[in-house]
Chain A
């Protein structure tokens, strides 16, 4: 569910980042109040747990594997506000230091995985758990919470993808970022999550939770003793929906109708981009043809191609050189 850079427009990224700022601020304040200032650095340990959880490969029926995010689990274990910060730090380290996931899209990724997923998952869990006073009820709450949490997060990502082609096109009408409209992005993102990733997340969440509960119940976060009011859940759901609504307002939902879906169904000539694109000569053979590059003066194009050639050769030689040096590099060590 990590959105890399260049799938979303910088303005979408900026909006998502701006939405996250108050959420982070509130989370930091809440956490400081709950665990005292001195214990704040301990969140680093939670963040590393969250990071490693995403590294685990979970078996999926059929012999292949999938990744779990564990957002709801971390919220249930550490509390939703601490979970928000932990997942944020884990995502930042992934993006900045491991080069995995986007820098600009960091805000959007945090919105989906550090806000929507843990908060929604946690509040659904808490809401059900407080009403059904049994152990089975608790597990059921966890299953529903984590399942809905991850699916709603995937849905948010899908909406972020899906509004791109409607909002950002170049003069020729070609989409500049993710080219898929909502009618494609929503089923493409949500179906695999509804059918596979959501189930994996729910099963994994419950299994880990029950292990910890059996072995070390004292380590699990104790939320407020009093029942969460139903209205709370509603507010959270609304908060989740607001920014998406803002983004989508006037552009996405209105146009996401019959005509768009039908244009996808017509296959080849979908969305009417073909003629415009072709007329303007934006096809691959033209990009580098005759060692010249569109949009550059001929001479500059030649020079650029020459530099590219030399540099690529250099890289190839260096790779060959270092492969020779440590051949039989053992991967399992």
Chain B
């Protein structure tokens, strides 16, 4: 045993600007918890088919984007908030957080334009951004991701592409957890001033890449063992329209009619 190991270290640390570690940890935790939340989704009583949700969310976003009428944008915002109010409190917080942050960011970006006299555009675009972000996040929070990806098949997205997306989500989780632990390790060992932060960070990213290569090789072998030949079929259950689907379609057609009415002028 070397001598220094036998006595307690008498050490006074210097401070260091290493916020990038904590921030990366927070971002990764956010991503991971978002994916983890997928596994505990309860079956909702009022369940609309994912394909319909994806299709009408897209239509809605398109209408918002085309609209020249601020009244229509406000109607859509109220409609979205009304639907949002039926979700549970935690989901509401998560969705609104993103919508508010994004639209506040947009408003700040557009603030100079407002001072130049484009107050209208600034408010108009901000409210459109709020609606769009809310709509997308409501879709992603209220629907299982694998049903969103397999719903894409109904829009003629190739099966192999859907497989790639599903694999990506899974590996974002696995590699994300791996790199999260590396950031923890970096944090625990950053006991003073780190003079080469880029070296540490690129060590993490580089290790993640090498690890991802290794995982891909393993996955390839495993798939081959299970007889994968490059063909993949997403199986969608036969579609039967349910009562909630019907209500959902009516609501969205009503919105489209309102759009046509409002944009007529």
Contact = CB atoms under 8 A, between A and B. Distances in A.
Interface of A: 4-7, 9-10, 13, 36-49, 51-53, 55-59, 63-65, 77, 85, 89-90, 92-93, 95-100, 102-104, 170, 172, 174-180, 203-204, 207-208, 210-212, 215-216, 219, 264, 267-271, 273-274, 277-278, 282-284, 287, 293-296, 304, 307-308, 311-312, 314-315, 318-323, 325, 331-332
Interface string B121-134: 11111001100110
Given A176-B124, A315-B84, A321-B89, A45 B65 contact: no
A44 B164 contact: yes
B188 to A, nearest CB: 14
A283 B90 contact: no
Nearest to B124: A176
B251 interface: no
Contact of A311 (B78, B170, B215): B78
**B98, B175, B202 pick with most chain A CB within 10 angstroms:** B202
Interface of B: 17-20, 23-24, 26-29, 31, 34, 57-58, 61-62, 64-66, 68-72, 74-75, 77-78, 81-82, 84-85, 88-90, 92-93, 96, 98, 102, 106, 110, 113, 115-125, 128-129, 132-133, 136-137, 139-140, 145, 148, 160, 163-172, 174-176, 179, 197-199, 201-210, 212-213, 215-216, 219-220, 223-224, 228-230, 232, 262, 265
Given A6-B125, A64-B19, A44 B78 contact: no
Contacts of A308: 77-78, 81
Given A93-B165, A93-B172, 16 more contacts: A36-B230, A37-B230, A41-B160, A44-B164, A44-B165, A47-B171, A48-B167, A48-B170, A48-B176, A51-B168, A56-B205, A59-B18, A211-B206, A264-B116, A282-B119, A304-B78
A34 to B, nearest CB: 14
A55 B24 CA distance: 7
A154 B118 CA distance: 24
B69 A295 contact: yes
A170 B124 CA distance: 12
Contact of A4 (B26, B88, B102): B102
A9 B120 CA distance: 16
A57 B132 CA distance: 27
Given A5-B132, A9-B65, A176-B68, A90 B168 contact: yes
Nearest to A208: B202
A58 B201 contact: yes
A273 to B, nearest CB: 5
